[in-house]
Structure 1
């Protein structure tokens, strides 16, 4: 097959009822600006869509393969949150007691009342760090933990919602380390990834590095199109600008570095593919049970996925947002002409920077995963993921689905 044809066609399998989903995936490859991507869907624990295509590198010399992995950015956050909920279910942590109960030094600078729930639902007031981080800081766990211990909240904890894009991983990951007795990545591997058979890493071993696709950042803009971009350009001390620019070497050079892949960045550094995301969310869509393994009890899962915080103006993303304790819920801002994340009213999941998406729809017992390596514009979803979600729901429901 010639190189040009590789970019036009997908590989993998698709159940007959989901051929329109394959067509939508291939439309993205041909007309939607996709470089390389993977897409998977589970229904009732069965994989009905498992597709991949395009390129894993910018030069077009490395086709996206069945086992290609990619950085999924904030699709890592639910994986980290699951570790917290596992500790809570075991009685080792209470998400509504102060973080300082488990991590005493965290109480400094007015953080004594912050709870794990506030960290999980982005209301803690710690979305960024004010003091400039040196290059490489993002890959030094102890350094970042010490800096967060000294940081004062941007607002009174619990009174406002602002997306904790990077700090989320160190804040919750340190709780996992202190209570779980091992690093976040190791805890996730033992308790979630291995039992479910996921090719999903928070801290990638060097042995897997050759499988990782190259991330292509979105084009920079010099003319702000919305409140988010205005804050980036005009408000350098705002939480928005600080979380995007003061990243200690993660953005953007860390996306494709060995140091970035190896670091256990529980907010944005997870590396996986659509198949594993669909398997994870397919398990959650079926109440947390797969075969003889129970990931979480149904009551724990219900509490974890209930809306916990919401705002008309997220202090960082500058759009209306709705969060559960570690998951996004549907964010339909289309009536206001703002970025949206429409993936089903009953669904819970997460978007990743540039447009990747994973979610569970319990009413359909459906798990969905989509990863890609060319990042798109905006802070939530773009038309590539929207097209795939619509095609999946139309295949499942048999008619056009109003998301």
Structure 2
């Protein structure tokens, strides 16, 4: 076994008696090597019922810390969705308005009729940048949104959908900025963390850098991940264009320099407890901040079927949020949220009152669902 495989199997933290089976599942993941170090939090109707962490932080064998933060990768998209939902709730953003109503420069090259809900559900035809982009370029907000505004779509908007891995954050984020006058990261702190104790940022203050647990990358297996991996490596495909400009791997955001700018599709930094608390804003209980009407609007299915970018499995999206599907079942009917590269997952299921967040330092780049999440989610479902 490598150092990374010698993870401590006893979890630290708390589970309500009814959810003790979740601790067993969490420790099983550490014991069998599905996880190296991880944290898990579950709220039910605004009450914290699971708060666990365990394993090791990195190759040094250092224990996984209670105050660990993780770069969320695409889990960040779900937090972007919550920020957008807050603007929908207040009437600052209308999902059925054309994007140029907020962002006039966007209405060129056949994009003048794109609706906000289409832009926010991977239908705009802008999954990749059409000019070379470096990792450093991702920090240039004005440069990225100006380029995307002028870019011609890869398909007629609204007729197909394809995962906008990095571009979605700039596209939806610019609508947020134009509508509110504030960035996604600023609104996240103002609307969801007014008391400043929420450990969640899009644009991490540098004083928290030491707490960030880096991802340990892995290679796709020859099985279920192979087709997507081949498409990512094949020049001329939309998959390649989306994931190679710049190259999207776990290492992309392991660099502290990439944590400070706002990249709202990918570089949010969170702890599991705060992610689950954020999703408690959409379920009944003392933490609710988004109205049930708006919740039903943003989790209403916009697209479901073949994905022009994630060619391995069909995808299903509401407004920004991924919806429960065979690719990522969550807790089934009514669940909505987002997973992140290699294994992170955060979501809510208003029907059960559950808000769930799982963060890990072991990336599994195969398409989901992964065994460790099945184990955890089955334990939560059994507790219900």
Same fold (TM over 0.5): yes
Do the aligned partners of residues 134 and 278 (structure 1) sit closer, same or farther apart at CA in structure 2, a change above 3 Å counting? closer
Do the aligned partners of residues 224 and 33 (structure 1) sit closer, same or farther apart at CA in structure 2, a change above 3 Å counting? closer
SS state of the match for residue 163, structure 2?
coil
Please say which of residues 14-23 and 189-198 is displaced more in the overlay: 189-198
1:388 paired to 2:376 = yes
Deviation, structure 1 residue 224: 8.4
Correspondence for 1:354: 342
Deviation, structure 1 residue 220: 5.3
Deviation, structure 1 residue 380: 3.0
Do the aligned partners of residues 71 and 163 (structure 1) sit closer, same or farther apart at CA in structure 2, a change above 3 Å counting? same
1:157 paired to 2:153 = no
CA offsets, 1:132-167, max 9 Å, x none? Answer: 213411121112112212221111101011111110
Correspondence for 2:174: 174
Correspondence for 2:242: 243
Do the aligned partners of residues 204 and 196 (structure 1) sit closer, same or farther apart at CA in structure 2, a change above 3 Å counting? closer
Deviation, structure 1 residue 82: 2.1
1:374 paired to 2:374 = no
* Counterpart-to-counterpart distance in 2, 1:321 and 1:49: 29
SS state of the match for residue 295, structure 1?
coil
* Counterpart-to-counterpart distance in 2, 1:381 and 1:225: 11
1:317 to 306, 310, 313: 310
Does the Cα contact within 8 Å between 1:351 and 1:381 map onto a contact in 2?
A: no
Equivalent runs, 1:285-296 vs 2, <5 Å: 285-286=283-284, 290=286, 294-296=288-290
Correspondence for 2:275: 277
CA offsets, 1:349-377, max 9 Å, x none? Answer: 11111111111122211111111111113
Give the gaps of 5 or more residues in structure 1.
Answer: 333-338, 397-403
1:132 paired to 2:126 = no
Equivalent runs, 1:288-307 vs 2, <5 Å: 290=286, 294-307=288-301
* Counterpart-to-counterpart distance in 1, 2:333 and 2:180: 34
* Counterpart-to-counterpart distance in 1, 2:189 and 2:242: 28
Equivalent runs, 1:227-242 vs 2, <5 Å: 227-234=227-234, 236-242=235-241
SS state of the match for residue 8, structure 1?
coil
Do the aligned partners of residues 390 and 95 (structure 1) sit closer, same or farther apart at CA in structure 2, a change above 3 Å counting? same
Does the Cα contact within 8 Å between 1:83 and 1:188 map onto a contact in 2?
A: yes
Correspondence for 1:401: none
Give the gaps of 5 or more residues in structure 2.
Answer: none
Do the aligned partners of residues 13 and 98 (structure 1) sit closer, same or farther apart at CA in structure 2, a change above 3 Å counting? same
CA offsets, 1:193-221, max 9 Å, x none? Answer: 33695211101000111111011122256
CA offsets, 1:299-327, max 9 Å, x none? Answer: 1111111112111x111111111111121
* Counterpart-to-counterpart distance in 1, 2:155 and 2:359: 34
Deviation, structure 1 residue 384: 1.1
- Normalising by structure 1, we get a TM-score of 0.88
1:308 paired to 2:302 = yes
Correspondence for 2:252: 254
* Counterpart-to-counterpart distance in 1, 2:166 and 2:236: 16
Q: Which has the higher helix share?
A: 1
Tell me how large the CA RMSD over aligned residues is.
2.2
Does the Cα contact within 8 Å between 2:39 and 2:52 map onto a contact in 1?
A: yes
